[in-house]
Chain A
Amino acid sequence: MNNNGKGYKAFTVFNYIFMCLIILVMLYPMLYVVLASFSTSSELIKHMGPLLYPLKPTGASYQMVFKNPMIFTGYVNTIIIVVSGVLLNMTMTALTAYVLSRKKLALRKFFTLFIVITMYFGGGMVPVYLTVKQLGLDNSLLALIIPTAMSAYNMIIMRTAIQSIPESLIESACIDGAKQIQVLVKIVLPLVMPTIAVLILYYAVGHWNSWFNAMLYLRDRAKFPLQLVLREILITNDTNLMSGDTAAQDSHAIAETVQYAVIVVATLPILAIYPFLQKYFVKGVMVGAVKE
């Protein structure tokens, strides 16, 4: 550390300034959204340049957001999808990962290949869409849960974690006559809790953020998840986007600040819990990166 020249000192100063700039660039757009959401619409339209404080602070936009029944039903639908989706995801993932980690299984290699192939090749958007329709899942929340019942990628992460458990631990339980499912639930899963936490987060965020399948399959507006409602309010409302969009027709012009309030209402829960979960997410990146 002593043989650093003047150049390095200058660099350090520059680096700290640059990092402050990064923090500003990362946070300001979000801050702007919050400030705008508490501003008065007419003032905001007149105003030019960055906001440093809400203009004529008011909670009016939030009143409008909470009065909009779509936001509430959207939230409820999203929560239903996230909870039941993650339950199904984790059940499928744990079962499959455990089976594929058992070396004594004769068809293990074949089953693994059977799943891995699907990671790299698929039939495409239209055949999947037709399959979901043929199963009668369209216009049902099930269309957002069942077709994404598990992710091969996450399953492999789980399998890798299970494989790191000493085999003797599992074998001794089997010799004691325990059923495989008991071994999985009572011995294996408690030992891979950190991985389970990571995968729950990944699946949950995936369900929370998804909107495309909802747009494809859902017709009843009462079934729309939050992200699809957001799309109507934020994206289709103020543009001449696509000709096929019928959903936006009945939504009236929404005041400037309401769009910002909607963003806050929809994003705050995730961003508020994120700092507490950060270490799990970061761990997830690592687990995923170390492919075996």
Chain B
Amino acid sequence: MKKQTSIGTLPKKNTLGVRIGKEWRENYELYIMFLPALVYYLIFSYKPMYGALMAFQNYAPAKGIWGSDWVGFKHFMDFFKSYYFVRVIRNTVTISVNSILFGFTTPIILALLINELQNMKMKRLVQTVSYLPHFISTVVICGMIKKFTLDTGIVNDIVALFGGERVTFLNKPEYFVPVYIISDIWQGVGWGSIIYLAALSGISQELYEAAMIDGAGRWRQTIHVTIPGILPTIITMLILRMGRILSVGYEKIILLYNPMTMETADIISSFVYRKGLQEQNLSFSTAVGLFNSAINLTLLMITNKISKKVNDTALW
């Protein structure tokens, strides 16, 4: 029977209802299999997007989105006018820019240096060891940072050895960003180099041979073959990184900061957390978060466009 209906119906008679019926009969199993994902994303992604409307309200949990009073852009204006606006934006950008300057470049350098190692055992050892810190959890990393940078900690022991003054680094605003960035490099440099090592191993050996025949030494091979070979990867990674310049994660920040270092440590996402979930300014915090998402999305779209133009790679 099923077959008859689908074969017997002429194409022009395929109304929407018929087509839906046919699609369902053919693919109902697939639709059922998609159901869990559909429900999951509706509840945990789309419902919160709808809930983000509270950014334009004085949201009261008891009244819900339907019953709360609308206040337009009041919370956004409050944020723009507040003392925190400049502070959190400045800190977020500072951390981001520093992590691009140092955290982004060091894996490339490490990959280039590893690539020059002729001894395979050494090569593998450096790789294995440098990937290790990536697997230490954020909480443990932050615990280690805290203990090491205490005024009695090992970092200060070394500083004192060279005649420096002992300071509890995490209580000094001027040291927060360096501590954050250096620990990030320690944890991420090896892992970050993997992608460049792959790009390096993808460079054709013939190019090197040709360069050698032309009389190029290792230096010139590096400049004329190696670097151009991984440049597309570097550019893609850099463009993607630029798109995330205002989205710095909060986990490490809220584990490491304290009232003494807020001035340099408080970033947009940690501010959203503190205002929203610690101080229960639900609408205000959501407004700040929404502002941040909007900027992030815009930056991502811009960098994606650039990426498409520059080297034909894009996220979408």
Partners in one complex: yes
Q: What is A's interface to B at a CB cutoff of 8 Å?
A: 1, 3-5, 7-8, 11-12, 15-16, 18-19, 22-23, 25-27, 29-30, 32-33, 45, 48-50, 91-92, 95-96, 98-100, 102, 104-107, 111, 114-116, 118, 120-131, 135, 146-147, 149-150, 155, 179-181, 184, 205, 208-209, 211-212, 216, 227-228, 230-231, 233-235, 238-242, 244, 259-260, 263, 266-267, 270-271, 274-275, 278, 281-282, 285-286, 289, 291
List chain B residues, Cβ under 8 A from A19: 113-114, 117, 122, 126
Instruction: Please tell me if the beta carbons of A15 and B113 are within 8 angstroms of each other in the complex.
Output: yes
Instruction: Please tell me if the beta carbons of B132 and A274 are within 8 angstroms of each other in the complex.
Output: yes
In the assembled complex, the CB of A202 is this many whole angstroms from the nearest CB of chain B, namely 12
15 A/B residue pairs, CB under 8 Å, sorted by A:
A3-B216, A26-B186, A100-B34, A114-B41, A120-B300, A122-B48, A123-B45, A127-B54, A149-B44, A179-B29, A227-B139, A230-B143, A234-B147, A235-B255, A275-B128
List chain A residues, Cβ under 8 A from B138: 209, 211
B103 at the interface (CB under 8 A from A): no
> CB-defined interface of B281-294 with A at 8 Å, one 1/0 digit per residue?
01001100110010
Instruction: Please tell me if the beta carbons of A291 and B315 are within 8 angstroms of each other in the complex.
Output: yes
A126 vs B278: C-alpha distance in the bound complex, in angstroms? 11
Given the known A-B contacts A19-B113, A118-B45, are A209 and B137 also in contact in the complex, defined by CB atoms under 8 Å? yes
Given the known A-B contacts A121-B297, A235-B139, are A126 and B113 also in contact in the complex, defined by CB atoms under 8 Å? no
Contact segment of B2-10, B94-102, B152-160? B152-160
List chain B residues, Cβ under 8 A from A209: 137-139
A241 vs B274: C-alpha distance in the bound complex, in angstroms? 12
In the assembled complex, the CB of A147 is this many whole angstroms from the nearest CB of chain B, namely 5
Total interface residues on B, using CB and 8 Å? 94
A-B pairs, top 8 by smallest CB distance, nearest first, are: A123-B48, A234-B143, A127-B51, A124-B289, A127-B48, A180-B29, A118-B45, A209-B137
A52 vs B128: C-alpha distance in the bound complex, in angstroms? 23
B198 at the interface (CB under 8 A from A): yes
List chain A residues, Cβ under 8 A from B38: 111, 114
Partner among A5, A16, A150 whose Cβ is within 8 Å of the Cβ of B37: A150
Instruction: Say whether chain A's binding surface is mostly helix, strand, loop, or mixed.
Output: helix
Q: Which chain B residue shows the least CB distance to A128?
A: B48
Given the known A-B contacts A4-B218, A131-B44, A244-B278, are A124 and B258 also in contact in the complex, defined by CB atoms under 8 Å? no
